[in-house]
């Protein structure tokens, strides 16, 4: 008898779990996501944002299945995209994207590459001693193979790389053409990941900007020339989703106080004298405890997060406030060593203890955590013609040019030292 379970999801209502999705949910790699907040430290600004990353991946898998049905995919392809949707975030570390730039610097792997390696069985982000406690629980790659799916094919979809080989179970020979629509469902301008996180994050934060007409968008999705496209009738829904994405980044994901909290945790990990290689395997609470146990700056910052005693913005500049030379100078701060040197120089000039000033230049991190932020590359069907979205909508150009944050650079510090820090910044950053 086929095992089927149903759950009540706050966003999508009743979700039916069966087959490969149900089996993958039993893996340690997926269950670990129960203890990682979807929005990291955003709950410090939006108190309702305590939803976990496992809620999100279940939602992505469900949306991927809905898209598969809408464009009439066969069962084997539906299983593939639902599995990829469920697995697309297994590589996340504690507090989701918060530490991504730190951990990628240490390991040369971002969360997407790490996710692919975990799916293929080349990497494990479950602590060895914890996996030993559950010797009978299979790894992700083993579950995929039991269901006739190739781990490498599932992993390729996570990055938006089209499948180039035939799929088992379709009863067809291997295909040489690329199934671009499969990759589009998981990672593209309009994909199941973004659909779910926009709807889910808007619900939990209470921010109405993330709302859009997904049902209408779903009704107008179709396949054409091996690609997923949108009928012209769905253009308003498509515009609504892309505008929602832009507004959610400005008002929620890159809220200045959220960014300051994230930078505090990131600096605490960066400046730790203990090896951070195992941080990737931790969950949120474990990371906070790890920092507290170290004492010093790590303990201070962890307790500030715990009790919401955060640094405040001392100084910031937008793009229009800076010359080209100053912008070029700021780009150099993407280098961790140079940024840390500048932070400590500001501390010395302000007469405060080292490590107590944060410089935030969000652009490089944004490209790492969300490369789709300005993507508008999807085609619209207009009387049997494929027209790029950028030519179908006047919003396209505006969405690409719109700044995510109102600052190109921000400096934050302890509230009692804001005046001293403000006076020191220009003499350090732009000499």
Superfamily of domain 4-254+380-390: Hypothetical protein af1432 (1.10.3210.10)
> Is the distance from CB of 311 to CB of 328 less than 8 angstroms?
no
> Where is mean pLDDT largest: 32-46, 90-104, 263-277, 317-331?
32-46
Both structure tokens of 36: 């990682």
Residue 116: pLDDT over 90: yes
Question: Model confidence over 390-405: pLDDT tens digits?
Answer: 888 888 888 877 777 8
Question: Model confidence over 39-49: pLDDT tens digits?
Answer: 999 999 999 99
3-class SS of residue 109: coil
> Where is mean pLDDT largest: 10-19, 108-117, 166-175?
10-19
Distance CA 34, CA 126 (A): 13
For the chain, give every domain's residue range: 4-254+380-390
DSSP summary character for residue 233: G
Other Cβ atoms less than 10 A from the Cβ of 128: the count is: 8
Predicted local distance difference test score (pLDDT) of residue 319: 84
Predicted local distance difference test score (pLDDT) of residue 174: 39
Question: Model confidence over 236-261: pLDDT tens digits?
Answer: 999 999 999 999 999 999 999 999 99
Average pLDDT over residues 70-87: 97
Lowest-confidence segment of 60-69, 366-375, 381-390 by average pLDDT: 366-375
Residue 153: pLDDT over 80: yes
Residue 415: pLDDT over 80: yes
Instruction: Show the CA angle centred on residue 227, arms to residues 202 and 72, nearest 5°.
Output: 80
Predicted local distance difference test score (pLDDT) of residue 171: 38
Residue 165: pLDDT over 60: no
Both structure tokens of 323: 């010359």
Question: Model confidence over 325-349: pLDDT tens digits?
Answer: 888 888 888 888 899 999 999 999 9
Predicted local distance difference test score (pLDDT) of residue 371: 61
Predicted local distance difference test score (pLDDT) of residue 275: 80
> Is the distance from CB of 305 to CB of 288 less than 8 angstroms?
yes
Q: Could you tell me which residue, 101 or 84, shows the higher pLDDT?
A: 84
3-class SS of residue 380: strand
Percent of the chain exceeding pLDDT 90 equals 69
Average pLDDT over residues 280-284: 92
Predicted local distance difference test score (pLDDT) of residue 17: 96
Residue 144: pLDDT over 70: yes
Predicted local distance difference test score (pLDDT) of residue 102: 79
Other Cβ atoms less than 10 A from the Cβ of 233: the count is: 13
pTM of the predicted model, to two decimals? Answer: 0.92
Residue 373 binned pLDDT confidence (cut-offs 50, 70, 90): low
Distance CA 138, CA 117 (A): 16
> Is the distance from CB of 63 to CB of 192 less than 8 angstroms?
yes
pLDDT, the chain, mean: 90
Average pLDDT over residues 378-399: 89
Predicted local distance difference test score (pLDDT) of residue 274: 81
Average pLDDT over residues 116-139: 95
Question: Model confidence over 190-237: pLDDT tens digits?
Answer: 999 999 999 999 999 999 888 899 999 999 999 998 999 999 999 999
Percent of the chain exceeding pLDDT 70 equals 93
> Is the distance from CB of 354 to CB of 370 less than 8 angstroms?
no
> Is the distance from CB of 311 to CB of 411 less than 8 angstroms?
no
Lowest-confidence segment of 76-90, 159-173, 294-308, 326-340 by average pLDDT: 159-173
DSSP summary character for residue 358: E
């Amino acid at each position: 008898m086929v095992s089927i379970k149903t759950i009540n999801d706050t966003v999508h209502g009743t979700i039916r779990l069966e087959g490969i999705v149900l089996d993958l949910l039993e893996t340690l790699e997926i269950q670990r996501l129960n203890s990682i907040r979807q929005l990291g430290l955003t709950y410090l600004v939006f108190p309702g944002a305590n939803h976990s990353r496992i809620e999100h991946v279940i939602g992505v898998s469900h949306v991927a299945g809905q898209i598969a049905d809408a464009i009439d995919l066969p069962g084997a392809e539906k299983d593939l995209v639902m599995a990829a949707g469920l697995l697309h975030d297994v590589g996340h570390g504690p507090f989701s994207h918060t530490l991504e730039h730190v951990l990628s610097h240490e390991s040369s792997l971002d969360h997407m590459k790490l996710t692919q390696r975990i799916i293929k069985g080349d990497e494990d982000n479950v602590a060895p001693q914890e996996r030993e406690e559950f010797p009978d629980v299979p790894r992700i790659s083993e579950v995929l193979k039991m269901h006739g799916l190739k781990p490498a094919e599932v992993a390729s979809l996570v990055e938006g790389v089209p499948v180039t080989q035939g799929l088992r179970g379709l009863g067809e020979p291997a295909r040489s053409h690329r199934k671009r629509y499969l990759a589009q469902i998981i990672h593209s301008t309009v994909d199941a990941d973004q659909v779910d996180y926009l709807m889910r994050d808007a619900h939990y934060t209470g921010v109405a900007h993330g709302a859009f007409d997904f049902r209408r968008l779903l009704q107008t999705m179709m396949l054409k020339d091996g690609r997923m496209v949108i009928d012209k009738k769905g253009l308003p829904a498509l515009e609504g989703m892309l505008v929602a994405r832009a507004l959610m980044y400005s008002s929620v994901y890159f809220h200045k106080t959220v960014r300051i909290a994230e930078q505090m945790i990131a600096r605490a990990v960066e400046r730790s004298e203990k090896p951070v290689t195992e941080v990737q395997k931790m969950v949120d609470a474990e990371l906070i405890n790890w920092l507290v146990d170290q004492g010093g700056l790590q303990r201070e910052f962890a307790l500030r997060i715990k009790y919401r005693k955060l640094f405040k913005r001392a100084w910031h500049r937008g793009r229009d406030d800076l010359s080209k030379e100053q912008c070029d100078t700021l780009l150099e701060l993407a280098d961790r060593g140079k940024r840390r040197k500048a932070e400590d120089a500001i501390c010395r000039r302000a007469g405060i203890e080292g490590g107590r000033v944060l410089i935030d230049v969000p652009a490089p991190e944004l490209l790492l955590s969300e490369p789709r932020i300005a993507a508008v590359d999807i085609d619209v069907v207009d009387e049997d013609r494929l027209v790029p979205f950028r030519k179908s909508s006047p919003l396209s150009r505006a969405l690409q040019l719109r700044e995510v944050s109102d600052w190109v650079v921000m400096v934050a510090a302890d509230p009692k030292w804001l005046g001293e820090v403000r006076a020191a910044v220009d003499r350090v950053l732009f000499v």
